[in-house]
């Protein structure tokens, strides 16, 4: 129906891409697919056919920047420097499978927020993105995005990705939307609370049903939700982003009233 003969590439961001989507564009239409991760402050990671050839990986993994042997398309990717920092210990993450905040230096990073001094930068001048990544267990030159740092739930010292919890929940056809947030706990610090929007008002789901979904998905038990809240819709800002801070505050107020 559309003439795509002049289209050379398309880009995607904000959520992982399924491998079949990339293959459909590249093999079916001859159009390259680029997966991007970026921020307004200048940090950007590009997954391209040269840096991440495998479509199954390119939809969810990003190449580290500043590697001398990585075949980047842009000079800025080679000029940038990055590190992952454990938010609890402050130590640099160098092993696969361990989560850390992405911090960046280089010519693409902005000089700072107007009138707010060095806010957003650590003591060594690294820009703190607020996004948590892991070094991939499949390839140490690639990174896996875990979650926003403020959205991580820390239960008894174990870090839980809200995005992972939400992905498992929305795999159930009865659930249209889900948001996982931390609820305070005197013993463990935080536990997992999920706010869900059901597909139909006639649908129902109990906490035990939710936990069974996680068990069947093979998710570690410490990540299982321990409270469920039903909503007609999730609160969002004008651009459609879920207001998790509002959800967390509501849960804390409810916990304090008990």
pLDDT of residue 258 exceeding 70, the answer is: no
Residue 4 lies in a domain: no
Domain containing residue 171: 153-257
Note whether residue 3 is domain-resident: no
**pLDDT at residue 151 above 90?**
no
Mean pLDDT value of segment 6-14: 89
124 and 33 in a single domain? The answer is yes
Measured distance CA(72)–CA(48) in Å, rounded:
8
Q: Which runs of consecutive H residues, i.e. helices, occur in the chain?
A: 19-23, 55-58, 75-79, 162-169, 207-216, 244-257
20 and 121 housed in the same domain: yes
Nearest to 86 by CA among 153, 126, 134, 15: 134
| CATH at residue 243 | 3.30.300.30
- The closest of 165, 184, 183 to 175, measured between CA atoms, is 165
Per the structure, the count of domains in the chain is 2
- Which pLDDT band holds residue 119 (cuts at 50, 70, 90)? very high
Model confidence at 223: pLDDT above 70 = yes
């Amino acid at each position: 129906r559309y003439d795509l003969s002049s289209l050379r590439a398309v880009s995607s961001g904000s959520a992982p891409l399924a491998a079949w989507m990339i293959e459909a564009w590249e093999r079916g239409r001859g159009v390259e697919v680029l997966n991007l991760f970026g921020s307004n402050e200048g940090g950007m990671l590009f997954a391209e056919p040269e840096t991440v050839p495998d479509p199954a990986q390119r939809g969810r993994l990003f190449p580290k920047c500043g590697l001398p042997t990585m075949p980047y398309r842009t000079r800025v990717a080679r000029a940038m420097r990055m590190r992952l920092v454990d938010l609890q210990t402050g130590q640099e993450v160098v092993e696969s499978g361990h989560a850390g905040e992405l911090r960046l230096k280089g010519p693409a990073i902005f000089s700072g927020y107007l009138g707010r001094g060095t806010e957003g930068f650590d003591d060594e001048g690294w820009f703190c993105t607020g996004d948590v990544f892991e070094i991939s267990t499949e390839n140490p030159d690639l990174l896996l995005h875990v979650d926003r740092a403020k959205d991580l739930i820390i239960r008894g010292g174990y870090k839980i990705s809200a995005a992972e919890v939400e992905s498992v929940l929305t795999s159930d056809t009865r659930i249209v939307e889900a948001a996982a947030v931390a609820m305070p706990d005197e013993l463990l610090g935080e536990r997992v609370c999920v706010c869900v929007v059901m597909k139909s008002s006639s649908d129902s789901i109990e906490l035990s049903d939710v936990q069974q979904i996680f068990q069947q998905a093979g998710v570690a038990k410490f990540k299982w939700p321990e409270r469920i809240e039903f909503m007609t819709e999730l609160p969002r800002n004008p651009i459609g982003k879920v207001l998790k801070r509002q959800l967390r505050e509501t849960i804390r107020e409810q916990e304090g009233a008990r």
